[in-house]
Structure 1
Amino acid sequence: MNTANKLTLLRVILIPVFLVVLYLDFPFHMFIALMIFILASVTDFLDGYIARHYNQVTDFGKFMDPLADKVLVMAAMCWFVATARMPAWALVIVLFREFAVTALRLIAAERGRVIAAAWSGKVKTASTMVCICLMLLFRSWQLDAVCVAVIVVTTIYSGIEYFLKNRDVMDWKNM
């Protein structure tokens, strides 16, 4: 197993640790959860960099890296919904976008085409991770509202962009 895949696997292992720390109530548990989330988020950027720059791209990494990212973010967002810091409809929008873009990529792959990550998708991921960090660090309904708005807007924008730029992948006549 190469370095990039080890970092992805570390992120997968950190997800349940992150959730356990969030749900346990002990001094500084939110700060520790934040540090775990930041570490997991940094491994996301590092594993991609290492895989591309050191020729460590593997099928395992192509599958697990985006899955680990989605599970990490969804775990945090589910906790925010469970603690009434994020409305469930915001989580549904994010889930819908993730499933829709994944489906679009699967259809494209079936047709021999790869849909690379768009710039707006990278902005969505980065802004979502920053917002989650801010929400873990500070407890404020105003900040939560701003972060939810940023997450929802970037999610919707990037989802629409993926479908508009790749509308030729969909065969609307045979649906």
Structure 2
Amino acid sequence: MNLANKITLARIFLVPIIMFLLLINVNLKPLTFSDFSITWNQILAALIFIVAASTDGLDGYIARKNKIVTNLGKLLDPLADKLLVAAVLISLVEMDKVDAWIAIVIISREFAVTGLRQIALLEGRVLAASKWGKWKTAVQITMIIALLINNFPFALVDFRFDLVASWAAALITVYSGVDYFVKNKNLIPLSE
């Protein structure tokens, strides 16, 4: 197994650790500034999430640079991304930090686009990520980080950046999904 695939697998293995940290109930004294408070397990989960999310670009860069792109990597990389985002979103819903409908919109789009990519693979085509898909990922990661760290530092000035980021993520997720299907409508059989 090459280095790029090992990095992707590491991202997958970080998912349950992040979920555990978010969902455990520990009685450690939280970190507090004025009216802002965050638990140590949330801080650690956020740091691990940031590391995991940043490996997404790293594994692809290493694979392309060293010409070690493999079918396993092509399968694992998008799977790792979807697992990471879906698991953290579900944890955030459980923690009552994000509305369930936003998580459903994001996760549903990922399933739908994955299905379209599978249809394309059956036709012998590989669908590359669009610029909107890349923006979607960046906005989703920004939203998740804001939610993981309780909207810090914006909470100190009473600005709901986490709410703005959540709405932005939902909107760009829907738009990028529609864009993806419109551009690849020739793959969808209208009659069988």
Shorter-chain TM-score tier: over 0.9
C-alpha separation in 2, matches of 1:61 and 1:167? 26
Q: TM-score, normalised by structure 1?
A: 0.93
> Unaligned stretches of 5+ in structure 1?
none
Q: Give the match's secondary structure for 1:117.
A: coil
1:166 deviates by 0.7
Are the aligned partners of 2:21 and 2:44 in contact in 1 as well (CA < 8 Å)? yes
Return the offset for 1:169: 1.2
CA distance in 2, matches of 1:108, 1:2: 26
For 2:149 and 2:59, how far apart are their aligned partners in 1? 25
Question: Residue 36 of structure 2 aligns with which residue?
Answer: none
Map Cα deviations across residues 76-96 of structure 1 (whole Å, 9 max, x no partner): 110111111111111111121
Deviation at 1:143, TM superposition (A): 3.0
Q: Displacement of 1:160 after TM fit?
A: 0.6
Residue pairs, 1:134-153, within 5 angstroms: 134-139=146-151, 142-153=160-171
What is aligned with 1:84?
A: 96
Aligned length: 174
| Residue 12 of structure 1, CA deviation | 1.0
Separation in 2, partners of 1:41, 1:68: 10
Q: What RMSD, in angstroms, separates the aligned Cα atoms of the two structures?
A: 1.5
- Paired residues of 1:8 and 1:65 also in contact (CA < 8 A): yes
Render the CA deviation track for 1:26-73: whole Å, top value 9, x for unaligned: 451111111100110111110011111111111111111111111111
**Structure 1 vs Structure 2: percent identity of aligned residues?**
43
Contact 1:44 1:69 in 2 (8 A): yes
Residue 130 of structure 2 corresponds to 118
Question: What does residue 171 of structure 1 align with?
Answer: 189
Aligned partners of 1:144 and 1:81: how far apart in 2?
14
After TM superposition, the runs of 4+ consecutive aligned structure 1 residues lying more than 4 A away are none
2:10 is the counterpart of 1:10: yes
CA distance in 2, matches of 1:5, 1:150: 31
Q: 2:180 aligns with which of 140, 155, 162?
A: 162
Deviation per residue, 1:97-153 (Å, 9 max, x gap): 111111111111111221111111111111111111111122459333212101101
1:19 aligns to 2:31 (yes or no): no
Q: CA shift at 1:171, angstroms?
A: 2.2
TM-score by length of 2: 0.85
* Larger gyration radius, structure 1 or structure 2: 2
More helix by share: 1
